[in-house]
Amino acid sequence: MGLIFDEVAGELPLVERVWAARFDAEVSFASVAKASTMLSFAGNDAGWSMYVHGPETKASNLTCPKGWEFFGVELKVGAHLPLFPSAAVADLRDAQLPTVAGGRILLDNRDWEMPTADNVDVFVARLVRAGLLVTDPLVEEIHQDRRPRGVSERTAQVRFRRAVGISRRKVASIERARSTAQFLMTGGSTAEAISVGGYYDQPQLTRAMRWATGHTPSQLRSDPRFLAF
């Protein structure tokens, strides 16, 4: 396929996972719907760039050229950079950060060393210490289906959407569709997937898989082209 993909182990603050990929040939793939914000880095022989990538409310078809390398930090739901509101960078409206001399990143009127996949944990920790990468504890409560105390339901939902960029209901739909798609890709039957995902019937399952992954359940079970989860 021309793609080499790895997930990088390690425990980082406010981070769900770190991944890295490189393309030895031009590759087309489907980017699956996502509920969280991502810090991504792309580079080739000409240099590297950093992007802030918000949630994706549907699947997108993308193509990456030969010779490019990427790595990214997928944040936990609700973790975000206030300088780049999650709603503003959602659905592929990525923010590309400017670079200055030496390929350094310009962020918050300061220049930062461009990280690598091996030391991105240092970069993330510096962002947290500087108050540039934050999370709202209330978001975690709502995400875990706990009723927040001391605030109204409306205030809670406003704060959730401000941090995450999309509503709690949309987050739940995306997470349900992603887990169901992964179940189908590991050989689960369509009938089992309906139950696993809590869908009413096969038509509802099919609609969910189409908007979330760009594939039907049968395509996910057979041998779909590369999906970027």
* 3-class SS of residue 53: strand
pLDDT (mean) for 69-92:
95
> How sure is the predictor about 33, in pLDDT bands with cuts at 50, 70 and 90?
very high
What percent of the chain is modeled with pLDDT above 90? Answer: 68
Provide the token pair at 206. 């099919």
Quote the pLDDT of residue 2: 39
Q: pLDDT category, 222, cuts 50, 70, 90?
A: confident
Q: What is the pLDDT of residue 224?
A: 64
The owner of tokens 């780049």 is: 84
Is 65 or 5 the better-scoring residue by pLDDT?
65
Q: Can you tell me the mean pLDDT for 188-197?
A: 95
Span 116-144, mean pLDDT?
92
In sequence order, the β-bridge partners of residue 20 are 6, 71
Task: Sheet containing 3-8: give its strands across.
Answer: 3-8, 15-23, 69-75, 38-44, 47-53, 95-96
User: For position 133, what pLDDT does the model report?
Assistant: 97
Q: Report the alpha-carbon distance of residue 56 to residue 34 in Å, rounded.
A: 5
d(CA 50, CA 115): 9
When pLDDT is averaged across residues 195-210 and rounded to a whole number, the result is 96
| Average pLDDT value for residue range 3-21 | 71
Q: Residue 215: helix, strand or coil by DSSP?
A: coil
Q: pTM for the full model?
A: 0.91
What confidence score (pLDDT) does residue 29 get? 87
In contact, 222 and 184? CB cutoff 8 Å:
no
